Each structure stands twice: as structure tokens, then as C-alpha cells.
Amino acid sequence: MSPGFAAMLDALPFLWRGLLVTLSVSALVVVLSLVAGAVLGLMRVYGPPVLQPAVQAFSDIVRGIPVLVLIFFVFYGLPVVGLQVNSFTSAVLALAIFSTAQVTELARGALQSIHHGQNEAAKAIGLTFGQRMASVILPQAARRFLPAWVNSVTDAVKGSALVSLIGVGDLMMAIQQVIGRTYQALPLYVLGGAIYFAINYGLSLLSRHCEQRLSYYQARE
Amino acid sequence: MPYHLNFGFVWLHFDRLLSGLALSLSMAALAIAIGVAIGLALAVAHVSGSKATRAAISAYVEIFRNVPLLLLVYFVFYGIPTEFDIRYGATASFVATLAIYAGAYLVEVFRAGLAAVPMGLIEAGKAIGLTPWQRLLHVRLPTMLRISLPALGNTFVSLFKDTSVAAVIAVPELTFGAQWINLNSFRVVEVFSVITLMYLGTGYAMLRLMRLVERRFSVNRT
């Protein structure tokens, strides 16, 4: 057995712990940004006119900053304003802010793609805002939102590798630590790449599956 | 103890940020140029190639789109030289990585553009007696480029933003300059606010420039 392969095998239990951190960072980011992004997307399209440009400005600005800069900004900046949080929390916060901006934009696109006549018709038959959203707008918008959203989940998993740079013990950090001990750089980067690939390729297959299912339903309408 | 903003140190070393931004932009430009060449070549190969060629191109696209850029950067800079006898600097290593990464995204953009060229145009090319190669060169590629413009602009800006990752292998670009100032002055809020504005301004300028090009050449006039 080559030393590279042996190092890969030996590293597996250690990488597993890193992988769990990567998965929990990603999962937290995905859930937080889905909720916040959906709310902001609704505010952007149906909110009070003063809030709409504010939401747009938030998402435009955040999407214009490199994720790495945002992570450093949050990590080094929070203690300055008196908030002592650990690196895990600031990593999740920074990635969630970034992902929220993406989700807001996706939600806006999906909501605006529904013809305004639908909303007006629902108003005309006396549905309240909540009813219009729940039974007319959201079911249609969700279909257009879903495939693009799965892509943003992939981006969140990929972006989570950057949190190793502020000391979070994720998969990327675990790979670096194993390389530091074994000097088997190439085999371990290949192994790490394969793990990230498996997660993200799985997600993109899921996205394609969703897309096919949803377009099937749309074609039948 | 309250924190008082003090931009003095940032302005004192502003030349680091300016040269950093220049390096970020040059790396992005070079990577985009190589990436566009890769993307165009592979997109054409994908529509006209054999099944095996297509599978190989799809594998390239899927691998590079589904692995974090940070890992690719480490792989090229720290991984490859340990097994093979090649030496290269951090900047060259990053540009090469970003170019291959960019290629994977741009193939998809160009493929979608080629697929969106109206059938009637290609048939018209056939009707006036153009050979398949002429149709590709004079009908499909120019139309595809014009269709792809909006998606290209977004991809270019996102690649420019990705140059910040070069800081981790000590390429003295914008984010690295900010880290240097932060480490030497602890003026974290100031320096990161300044580079945030620099990234935003540059990205915005790139988008405006692409919008101008789009307005001139786009076929998606609705």
C-alpha cells in the first residue's frame, strides 16, 4: 500500500469529524438564509414602498462583496462592536448573510415572474393578503424558486470551506491538519475534493430531478 | 472601551490597497481571458464532438463546479509541486487555478448560448450554401456571444470577487493588503469597510461596462 493511500485511509475518521462541522455550518446557513431570504424577498416585492429599495440595496451590496471579505469582516469586526462570539458563530453568521442576499434575489425573481393579474384576480374575489400568498402566489413561485435555490445550497457548501480560514474545524481544516502531519498533500486534497464533489454533485442531481418534476407539472396545467 | 474610527493607518498604506486592487483586476482579466478561450473551445467541442468528448467535457465542468475554489487553490499551489517536479509562483498558480475554474463556468454559459441560437438562423445559413464550419464561425458563434452577454457579465464579476481567495496563498492582492493593514494596526472596521467599497465599486463598474456592451450588441431586446 502506498504511503499516500495509507494516509488517506488513516485520515478518514478525523475527516469525518470535519465533515460533520462542514455539514452543520452548511445546514444552519441554508435554513437561516431560506427563512430570512424568503421574508426579504416578499418584502422586496409586496412590502411597503419605503422598504423595497432598502431590501434591494442590502442584497445588491452583499452580493457585490467577496464571501471571504465578508467572513473576515464579521469575524474581526464583531468583537470591535462588543460582541464576543466564537469563530463557528461568526462563520455561520457571515455565510448566512451572504446566502440570504442570494436567496432574496431568487425569491424576488420567482415572485415577480408570477403575472400580477393573478394577484389582482385573487384580490377581486376577496382573498386576504395571507390567503393570496398561501393559495395563489407562493405555490406557483415555489416551483420557479426551487431549482435555482438548490444551486445556492451548493454554493453554501462550497463557501463553507472558507470558514477554515478563521479557525473553524471544518472538513477543509481537517484536510490541512492531516497534511500537516503526514505530508501527503496531493492524495488528501484529492480525497477532500472527492468528498465535496459527492455532496455537491448529489445536490445538483437533486436540483435537476426537481426541475424535471416541476416542469412536468407546469406542462400539464 | 469604546472603539473610535481612525482611518489614518489605512490611508498611510493605501498604496498597498491600490496595488492590491490592480493585481486583483489583472489576475481576474487574465483568468477570464484564458477561461473564455477554454469555454469557447469546449462549448464548440461539446456540440460537435463525439459522445466520449462530451462525457469528458461534462466531467471537467462538474468536477470544477462542485469543489470549493479554496481547495482547488491549495491543490494546485501546495499539492501538485509535492508530487511533480514543477515550480511556480503563487500568483501564476492562482491565475491558472482561477482560469480552469472559470472555464468550467464559461463552458456552461456558452453551451446555453449555442443552444439558444434560433434554428431558423442556422437553416438560413444552410440555405445560402455555407459549409458547417462557416455556419459555426459566421452564424452560430457571433449570435451565441450576443445571447450570452448578460450571463457573461455576472460570471465575470463573480470571478473578480473570487480573486480574494488568492490572499490565502499570500498573493498580494486587495484582500491580502487589507489583512496586512489589519494585522499591523488592528484597524479592522476601517480597512474592511474601505476594501468592501473598493470591491463594490469595481464590481459595479464592471457591470456598467458590460451593460454598455450589451446595449450595443444584445439580441435580447424585448
pLDDT at B48: 83
Least confident interval from A209-213, B97-101, B197-201, B217-221: B217-221
User: Between vectors from CA B13 to CA B8 and to CA B18, what angle results, nearest 5°?
Assistant: 120
What is the chain B residue with the closest CA to A76?
B188
Complex ipTM, two decimals? 0.88
Locate A213 and state its grid cell.
418534476
Per CB-CB distance under 8 Å, the chain B contacts of A72 are 175, 178-179, 182, 192
Give Cα separations from B167 to B121, B198, B203 (angstroms). Answer: 46, 16, 18
What mean pLDDT is predicted for residues A81-98? Answer: 91
pLDDT at A97: 96
Chain A positions contacting chain B at CB under 8 Å are 61, 64-69, 72-73, 76-77, 80-81, 154, 157-162, 164-165, 172, 175-176, 179, 183, 185-186, 189-190, 192-193, 196-197, 200-201, 204
Kindly report the nearest CA distance between residue A15 and chain B, in angstroms: 14
CA distance B164 to A67: 9
Locate A11 and state its grid cell.
485520515
CATH of domain A3-220: 1.10.3720.10
A178 CB burial (10 A radius; 0-12, 13-18, 19+): buried
| Mean pLDDT score across all residues of chain B | 91
Residue A200 C-alpha from the chain's centroid: 12
E strand spans, chain B? none
Contact B67 A183 (CB under 8 A): no
**Residues B89-93: contacts with CB within 8 Å, 24+ apart?**
B90/B166, B90/B169, B90/B170, B90/B171, B91/B23, B91/B27, B91/B166, B91/B171, B93/B169
Kindly report the nearest CA distance between residue A99 and chain B, in angstroms: 14
Per CB-CB distance under 8 Å, the chain A contacts of B162 are 66
Kindly report the nearest CA distance between residue B84 and chain A, in angstroms: 10
Continuous H helices in chain A: 3-46, 51-63, 67-80, 87-112, 116-124, 129-132, 138-159, 171-182, 185-220
What mean pLDDT is predicted for residues B28-36? Answer: 97
What mean pLDDT is predicted for residues B68-77? Answer: 95
Boundaries of every domain in chain B: 8-217
CA distance B52 to B46: 10
Interface test with B, best of A70, A76, A178, A204 (most B CBs within 10 A): A76
pLDDT, tens digit (0-9, with 9 covering 90-100), for A68-79:
999 999 998 888
What is the chain B residue with the closest CA to A156?
B68
Contact B72 A165 (CB under 8 A): no
Report the CATH fold assignment for B8-217.
MetI-like fold (1.10.3720)
Per CB-CB distance under 8 Å, the chain B contacts of A66 are 161-165, 175, 199
Per CB-CB distance under 8 Å, the chain A contacts of B74 are 176, 189
Are residues A145 and A172 in contact, defined by beta-carbon separation less than 8 angstroms? no
B133 CB burial (10 A radius; 0-12, 13-18, 19+): exposed
Q: Is the pLDDT of residue A85 over 90?
A: no
B222 pLDDT band, cuts 50/70/90, is very low
Interface test with B, best of A65, A83, A154 (most B CBs within 10 A): A65
Q: Is the pLDDT of residue A219 over 60?
A: no
Chain B positions contacting chain A at CB under 8 Å are 3, 62-63, 65-72, 74-75, 78-80, 82-83, 157, 161-165, 167-168, 175, 178-179, 182, 188-189, 192, 195-196, 199-200, 203-204
pLDDT at B1: 58
Q: Is the pLDDT of residue B61 over 90?
A: yes
pLDDT over 70, % of chain A: 96
Give Cα separations from B102 to B64, B66, B220, B221 (angstroms). Answer: 9, 13, 24, 27
Contact B82 A192 (CB under 8 A): no
Kindly report the nearest CA distance between residue B126 and chain A, in angstroms: 33
